Chain A
Amino acid sequence: MVTKTYEGINQRIREGEAVVVTAEEFVEIARERGAKRAAKEVDVVTTGTFGAMCSSGAFLNFGHADPPIKLGGGEIYLNDVPAYTGLAAVDTYIGVTSLSTTKGMEYGGGHVIEDLVRGKEITLRGSGYGTDCYPRKEIETTITIHDLNQAVLCSPRNAYQRYNAATNSRDETLFTYMGTLLPNFGNVTFSGAGVLSPLGRDPNYETIGVGARIFLGGAQGYIGWEGTQHNPTKGFGTVLVIGDLKEMDPRYLRGCTIHRYGTSLYIGLGIPIPLLNERIAEAAAVGEEQIKVNLLDYGAPRRDRPVVREVTYAELRSGKVEVHGREVPTSPLSSFKLSREVAQKLKEWIQRGEFFLSAPVELLSRDSAFKPMKQIAEVPLVREIMTKPVITGLPDEPIARAAKIFAEHNFDHLPITDKQEKLLGIVTSWDVAIATGTKKKKLSEIMTKKVVVANEDEPVDAVARRLQQHGISGLPVTNTKGEVVGIVTTEDISKLVGRRRK
């Protein structure tokens, strides 16, 4: 039986005797010699991840101006990016997803943090309401990280243990926090460092907890608490991390823009896993072909997205996965190269005796679950507000029939289907109006063939957004078989809003 202690391992680090390997190396060692023997030979396994982590930010303290100003309760902008002002006079928190008021998604809180770490000058603009003790109402100055009293990276949720992969069943490109998702299952994106994932290497959290020293943004930081949305029962643990921004390296903190989604911050984070016993070693020896996640369809705008299939990180990493019998290219969103570099760097720190392990004062919880938001009103589904049954037309019918229907029923959209009710196109009253005086006779000649549709099980909010994005006033509603079962219009949605206000 192998049993080691933190003190024992630290003593070996001090003496330059500790055996430290990266998680990638450890998996190979364990494959060759078995996890038990590997547990005997290896003291510490280093992990690393490098991904966009949206629940991140930094506490900053500016010191007092003369005359003093109370920015708390007022407004603070750093390079035009709004920072939190619900703290005392000159403390703030800059979150990475906060967007510039002038540059929008091109520059945000993540970029401010990177620029601070690079030592660049940042424009601070602030205002307060003025009090007897803080008479000043406005301030504009420039600061660098060196001018700040404290600059502390403190992220409430970093380093997801693993993350579900993403794809898109819709016939339009989606821009999500999982990157650009091409239509009709055109690509797959995934996040996380697989075999190098810090929490994934110690999935029972036997060494990960409050007070554990870690690699954070190129400096030594700590785990401060379990992360928000920590979901150990499903294998999606997270950590709250904290560290001195002034010590960090811009190579491991990079502001970023996720196209048409928002800004974030790429963070390099690594946790050392001491192999205290064989059980820990066995969990740390699991290969990428055994780390499974679900591939989710982001085409469904719901909280519980449909699972397309289960995939392993080994498949995702290979560059192609099979989706419905077709090979689909994959994109990692986390940098495996930099994840590797983090694990390697942490390994070298320990080998050189510059980094010692700290025993957590409390381990992460293993039995909590992540609950959904409590909502006092359910969002209605399309099927509840759509008009049905719907009158449809056939492609060979004359345009005059559509005109007659529009006049008699006082509506403006006529879905065109085949005899099996499968949708072929749509004709609006406008199409009919502009066809008068032309030689066109049949509905097929004037119908729009690329029809934007709604599914009967979608929430109304998603459909309202689609109507707005396409600048249209109505959508045919289809069921899973592609048959037209109703129609939903802007009018149906405005009626609903009226109902909500009552």
Chain B
Amino acid sequence: MTAKLLLRYSPEALDKPILARVIRQTSAEINILHAELDATKGEILVGVEAPPAEIEKLMYLLKKNGIDAKKLERAVELDENSCLDCGACLSLCPTGALHTKKDYSVRLDEDKCILCEVCIPACPVRAIKITKF
């Protein structure tokens, strides 16, 4: 099973190697999709490949170490058939998940998406939708 977890660090947790510690205690394969860290807060989006029980364990361990771990139950989907390739969404996307190809068609890299959802109402033809996992 693949899950996306959003990990929010408090300022106190920022200087501790929590993620490394937790990874060593589980068999879950973790891929960092997006990370934003500064002096006041930290946010890491990870993709996890593991059986459900292992994901639960991972979340338990993260929470025990003071990290607010949230499983993202939704995904964003770009309907390429109704998309106009206008690009209204491009400059609103904080991670570059929405991007253009060489021929100026707009594409969504779902792995980079952090589900901020700013693009959804901004799409003039409602081509970007939230779907449940």
Question: Which A residues lie at the B interface, using CB under 8 A?
Answer: 50-52, 179-180, 182, 186-189, 254-260, 264, 266, 319, 328-338, 340
Contact = CB atoms under 8 A, between A and B. Distances in A.
Contact residues of B: prevailing secondary structure:
loop
Contact of B122 (A51, A52, A179): A179
Interface string B82-124: 0011111111100000001001110000000000001001101
B87 A331 contact: yes
Given A259-B121, A337-B104, A337-B105, A332 B86 contact: yes
A188 B104 CA distance: 17
Given A180-B122, A256-B124, A258-B124, A337 B85 contact: yes
B130 interface: no
B126 to A, nearest CB: 7
Interface residues of B, number: 19
Contacts of A51: 86
Given A52-B124, A254-B125, A338 B92 contact: no
> What's the dominant secondary structure at chain A's contact region?
strand
Contacts of B103: 337
Interface of B: 84-92, 100, 103-105, 118, 121-122, 124-126
A333 B84 CA distance: 10
B89 A331 contact: yes
Given A335-B85, A337-B104, A257 B126 contact: yes
B90 A330 contact: yes
Contact of B84 (A186, A187, A319, A338): A338
A67 B91 CA distance: 55
**Which of B92, B105, B125 has the most A CB atoms < 10 Å from its CB?**
B92
Nearest 9 CB-CB pairings of A with B: A256-B124, A187-B91, A331-B91, A329-B91, A337-B85, A337-B104, A332-B87, A335-B86, A259-B121
13 contacts: A51-B86, A187-B92, A254-B84, A256-B84, A258-B124, A328-B91, A330-B90, A331-B89, A332-B88, A332-B90, A333-B88, A334-B86, A338-B84
Nearest to A186: B91
A328 B91 CA distance: 8
A186 B94 CA distance: 10
Contacts of A331: 87-92
A254 B82 CA distance: 9
Contacts of A259: 121-122, 124
Nearest to A257: B124
Given A256-B124, A340-B104, A266 B87 contact: no
Given A331-B89, A337-B103, A180 B84 contact: no
Nearest to A178: B88
A210 to B, nearest CB: 30
Given A266-B86, A337-B85, A180 B92 contact: yes
Contact of B90 (A260, A319, A338): A319
Contacts of B105: 337
Nearest to B126: A257
A184 B19 CA distance: 34
Contacts of A340: 104
B34 to A, nearest CB: 16
A464 B55 CA distance: 51
B133 to A, nearest CB: 26
B84 A50 contact: yes
A37 B92 CA distance: 44
A338 B103 CA distance: 10
A153 B30 CA distance: 55
Contacts of B90: 319, 329-332
A204 to B, nearest CB: 29
A340 B91 CA distance: 21
Contacts of A260: 121
Name which of A179, A255, A328, A334 has the most chain B CB atoms within 10 A of its CB: A179
A336 B92 contact: no
Given A179-B88, A266-B86, A329-B90, A336 B124 contact: no
Contacts of A50: 84, 86
